[in-house]
Structure 1
Amino acid sequence: MYRVSSFLQHFAWALISGSLLASIWLNIDPASYYDIVEYRVLSLRGLSGRSDAIYTLRHFVAFALMPLFLFYLAKELWEALRLERGAMRRKRGGIPILGGLGGMIGAALVWVVLNSLWPMEEGIDATTGWTLTLGSDVVLTYMFGRLLFRPNSPALHVLLLLTIVMDIGGLLVFGLATVDLAPRLLWLVLPLLAAWAVWVFAARHRNHPQSELERQRALRLWPYLLAMFASWLGVAASGLPPALGLLPILPLIPHANHAFGMFAEAEELLHDPLNRIAHALVWPLVVTMALFGFTHGGIDLAAFAPVSLAVLGALWFGKPLGILAGALIVAPRLGYRLPPNLRRRHLGFIALLCGMGFTLPTLTMDGSLPGGYLQEAARFGLALSLLMGIFAIFLGRILRSTRRKR
């Protein structure tokens, strides 16, 4: 099993640093903090005539930079599904997919039940905001998982697969559930056209080029980058989350012949177009995660409310129970088994770690909940959910110490 690249930990520390800075600033001088994150980067009023066509620093990070992060995650999921020796090839994908689906369903059900018992606010339906808890947090769960499991443990790879499945799946469900696509459906033609064009003019000769010219054409980056921009533009204009905008082009970009594992260090030596793009994104993504933490991760310490408890209940109970149900009950009935060297206790700790959620839930917050104190209270709950990582590590050490005494 190849070691996971250290860049994931860089992303995690950048996110934490940005969030800590934002939280300190927000609680000391909230007015100046909001002046910065709501600073107007771009206004399209003059072009569209709409008063709401204003884009702040916060919007810029979510709309323009976070799609790069989702592309980076989706690359690993695509390689796990598609490439030889991929971690999700054939029946190996059953546990992460069914566990991820179970986690999303469990979180949504617990959210609705808790908000039915203790309404977040009078006049707001209990189903409001259920999409908030679908996503997970790849970089922060990995950081805690790295402290819990060995560096080359298969549990780390399953943990990464599960969180990526929930992040991308949760973002897609969020977009379909909260956006009315009908008025702007035609914009989705643009990603289709971009994919068709890059296939015809660059990608279709990637595996069996008829000449050296065709081989060189398939390895150039600019056609794929241009198609990615066009795809992002179409997805964003359609009303779907812009973070999904680069994904339609991903399967068309030439890649390595076989997978080395999730975020494997060995991939740093590869020079196919997909890995070259991923290598070029690493340090910009460190900056992106720091900016995302600063613009979206500021925690108001006075914002605790019933919705904070609903977030914790959905993440701490609904998501782990759903993951275990999907992976240990549904998957075996469909003929799927745990990967070699992965025990049920490992899956239990993976489920606990997936009870943390910050990055993707925060990204979907604006479309999930009404603005104001509800969002601040939900963000407070998301921050508290990270305590599950500490609990999992503490529990793991207790159990390890108990086994040694025996």
Structure 2
Amino acid sequence: MQDPGRKPRTFLGRLPLPERTFVADALRTETVGGMVLLIAAAVALVWANTPLSSAYESVRDFRFGIEALDLKLSVAHWTADGLLTVFFFVAGAELKRELVAGELRHPGTAVLPVVAAIGGMAVPALVYGLVATSAGGTWNGWAVPVATDIAFALGVLAVIGTHLPSALRAFLLTLAVVDDVGAIAIVAVFYTSTIHFPALLGAVLGLGLFFHLHDRRRVHGWYWYVPLALAIWGLTHAGGIHATVAGVAMGLLLRVAKDGESGRRPAEHIAHLVRPLSAGVAVPLFALFAAGVSISGESLGAALGRAEPLGVALGLAVGKVLGISGGAYLAVRFTRARLNPDLAWADVTAVAMLAGIGFTVSLLIGELAYPDPTELAYIKTAILLGSLASALLACVLLRLRNSKHRRLYEAENDNGPGT
């Protein structure tokens, strides 16, 4: 019998505050965020490879929006151009924090992850080009393997690396943030066809107003910024540049200096508030409508038998580890950058392998580079295979390194005071 003093729980209703707080905090952890993303990708693959595949395509291609403003887009388009902007907003905020108060504020410290990130973008593109063109393909997809998926990579590291040095996570985070911002810069420069300057000018003016309200006037209240952000996003989209660039730009404009009243950094606080929306809604929904490709033995063979998909897969699985490890080595060899004393080169190699998981942004760039659905299906298959190979190899090496660091930790405790 129900307690008359208790209100009945509504099915799928709003969670009570303690439960909402628990869910939000869980989504802020790399492990849960990576798992949600993995589940969404798995659902997409299963859905697209069952008799319900036609329903998947119908939902993915369903168009809605405001036609008069040229914003009547498909569900897949809304998730890629719209929701993924939230992900890049968080990435921009994290980069701003790193530049002002984190690892990147010291040039000597910043050189290593930045050079490693540049190598991790350049070498995969080169591997793609060499493989694709040598087999009669084109350079169309050179940018597909340049990106690292932050959520997946940090999620795997959080699961495997129970005894790995914290410096390794900091290195991966800095590397991945620089990598993703570099990838979105590539999108802005190389995948923009027609520029509409009046709309872009409006977006720039909107960003100026955003900066003035946030940094100069110290105006608080989401009700000021959400409508302004939507206007900036719409103008950026209308301007011909991929609208996710607006997210990075707004993230980079957030103030990092501590507020005198609260003692907290606004960039960190806002990213903390938005991260559950990014990890729990934006990125999984993008994965749900981007990762759904038909996979069979025949399609796998066809994908890897073609020059450009093979270039993408090898760019992720081979190019990333060569580029990041090589870039880090060159930075240490020819600059004043030094590897953290807690890290060994085997740790760097493991992270370089982990960075070959290029899921989210690689899928985004793939959709821009290959508008033909048949070619895109092969490219998506290659992204999945390259990312899976990178994840499996990284897990093996990370487990070996984790065991090594655990033994060192136990030996230090055994030999410490009081033994």
- Equivalence for 1:28: 50
TM-score, L = length of structure 1:
0.82
Q: CA RMSD in A?
A: 2.7
Residue 104 of structure 2: SS of its match in structure 1?
coil
Query: Is the Cα–Cα contact under 8 Å of residues 63 and 75 in structure 2 kept in the other structure?
Result: yes
- Equivalence for 1:158: 171
Query: Is the Cα–Cα contact under 8 Å of residues 196 and 240 in structure 2 kept in the other structure?
Result: yes
1:81 aligns with 2:99: yes
Query: Is the Cα–Cα contact under 8 Å of residues 113 and 175 in structure 2 kept in the other structure?
Result: yes
Query: Is the Cα–Cα contact under 8 Å of residues 231 and 248 in structure 1 kept in the other structure?
Result: no
Q: How many residues align structurally?
A: 368
Residue 343 of structure 2: SS of its match in structure 1?
coil
Which structure 2 residues correspond to residues 234-313 of structure 1 after superposition, within 5 A?
234-257=235-258, 273-285=266-278, 286-302=280-296, 303-304=299-300, 305=303, 306=306, 307-313=308-314
Q: How far off is 1:276 after superposition?
A: 4.2
Inter-partner Cα distance in structure 2 for 1:169 and 1:308: 22
Query: Structure 1, residues 347-376: CA drift from partner, whole Å, max 9, x if none?
Result: 111111112211100112221124222211
Inter-partner Cα distance in structure 1 for 2:27 and 2:324: 26
1:95 aligns with 2:118: no
- Equivalence for 2:201: 189
The sequence identity of aligned pairs, in percent, is 22
Report the residue type matching 1:109 in the other structure: L
Report the residue type matching 1:394 in the other structure: V
- Equivalence for 1:167: 180
Inter-partner Cα distance in structure 2 for 1:32 and 1:69: 27
Which structure 2 residues correspond to residues 3-402 of structure 1 after superposition, within 5 A?
6-29=28-51, 30-42=53-65, 44=67, 47=68, 54-83=72-101, 86-90=102-106, 91-120=108-137, 126-149=138-161, 150=163, 153-181=166-194, 183-206=195-218, 218-257=219-258, 273-285=266-278, 286-302=280-296, 303-304=299-300, 305=303, 306=306, 307-385=308-386, 386-398=388-400
Residue 379 of structure 1: SS of its match in structure 2?
helix
Larger Rg: 2
Inter-partner Cα distance in structure 1 for 2:276 and 2:230: 20
Query: Structure 1, residues 52-82: CA drift from partner, whole Å, max 9, x if none?
Result: x641111111121110011112211110111
Query: Structure 1, residues 268-287: CA drift from partner, whole Å, max 9, x if none?
Result: x9765434432332332202
Query: Is the Cα–Cα contact under 8 Å of residues 258 and 265 in structure 2 kept in the other structure?
Result: no
Q: How far off is 1:100 after superposition?
A: 0.8
Report the residue type matching 1:146 in the other structure: A
Residue 64 of structure 2: SS of its match in structure 1?
strand
Inter-partner Cα distance in structure 2 for 1:76 and 1:174: 19
Q: How far off is 1:40 after superposition?
A: 1.6
Inter-partner Cα distance in structure 1 for 2:123 and 2:79: 30
TM-score, L = length of structure 2:
0.80
Inter-partner Cα distance in structure 2 for 1:370 and 1:10: 32
Query: Is the Cα–Cα contact under 8 Å of residues 231 and 246 in structure 1 kept in the other structure?
Result: no
Inter-partner Cα distance in structure 2 for 1:340 and 1:224: 43
Report the residue type matching 1:387 in the other structure: A
Query: Structure 1, residues 72-131: CA drift from partner, whole Å, max 9, x if none?
Result: 122111101112xx12111211111111111111011111111112235xxxxx211111
Q: How far off is 1:201 after superposition?
A: 4.5
Query: Structure 1, residues 230-251: CA drift from partner, whole Å, max 9, x if none?
Result: 3222322222221121232334
Unaligned runs of 5+ in 2: 1-25, 409-419
Unaligned runs of 5+ in 1: 121-125, 207-217, 259-268
Report the residue type matching 1:56 in the other structure: S
The change in CA–CA distance for 1:159 and 1:275 in structure 2 (over 3 A counts) is closer
The change in CA–CA distance for 1:197 and 1:246 in structure 2 (over 3 A counts) is same
The change in CA–CA distance for 1:339 and 1:401 in structure 2 (over 3 A counts) is closer
